[in-house]
Amino acid sequence: MSNANARANATVYDQRRRKLKKRNKRYFQRIMITLIAFYAICLTSKMWLKNNYKNIDITPIGSVVSQNNREVTLISWSYCRDERKMEVLLGISNTAYDGNDTYEWSAEDKDAGSLKVTPIIEERNFVVLQLTDLPSRITVISLRMDQSKIQDFETIRLYAAPDRNMKSVADIKVKSKEEYQIQQIQSEIELANETISDLEEEIRKNKSTIRNLNTAINDAESDLQYQTSSEMESTNQKISTLRSQKKNANEAIDTAKNKIQELNEKIENLNKEIDSISSSGR
């Protein structure tokens, strides 16, 4: 009898041991699958994860970065994906007039690291840079401007990203100084025309606002004849507010028209400057 019990116990023990071994095997298999999936995601994330640029201030074309008594204008930032090359045009104003008008340039991609920067033209107030041997995938680029002769000079940074402030081009070729100057002026004309379009849209919106305000004023004035003295007081206050809003809208239209006139004069002068440069280069 005792032998039978011993065999039964041994059988139960063996069954439990096999179940536990099977359970542990499944447990470790799950861990291995999880680890493999985790590493696969980490290794391929750059291929499919979209970059989040929300926390980085991309430098708009035409904007001015002021620092160290320097005003640096980002004129254009061109990118040729096929050639793995970029071209950056900058306007520089040295408001310190200290004679330190040459700078050290470097660039870095947020993911790929340091990039090769070559100055093509370095004038006192105008610089053309080329970034070459770029990685196949660009994220956010930080362009840095330094001046080692000035002790307290803080690095000036401009930021760019594809589909944000970079212009895609078919190729990038080195041009003459005069061609770059014309390109700079053409960029200014383009920005001026964009500003004119924005101002014209602002005028259209304000005209629409004035039409709506006129309707509201007429309706309120019509209501006065059927109102009590207290209601009339409230309506008159409303009419006064509406007329004030109408006045502000008319003033905004006049301001926008004056700006458009100034910009058109600027464009005319810039075109004359292009003609002058073209004539001198012949």
Q: What tens digit of pLDDT does each residue of 186-224 get?
A: 989 999 999 999 999 999 999 999 999 999 999 999 999
The answer, yes or no, to whether residue 227 has pLDDT greater than 80, is yes
- Dig out the tokens for 132 from the structure: 């070459």
- pLDDT, one tens digit per residue, over 134-185 is 999 999 999 999 999 999 999 999 999 998 999 999 999 999 999 999 998 9
166: exposed, middle or buried (Cβ count in 10 Å: 0-12, 13-18, 19+): buried
Residue 205: count of CB within 10 angstroms of its CB = 13
Helix or strand (DSSP H, E) at 171: none
Task: Give the percent of the chain with pLDDT over 70.
Answer: 80
Report pTM: 0.69
Q: Helix or strand or coil: residue 109?
A: strand
- Dig out the tokens for 228 from the structure: 């009590």
130: left (phi over 0), alpha (psi -120 to 50) or beta: beta
Instruction: Please tell me the distance from the alpha carbon of residue 166 to that of residue 144, in angstroms, as a whole number.
Output: 17
Instruction: Please tell me the distance from the alpha carbon of residue 116 to that of residue 145, in angstroms, as a whole number.
Output: 14
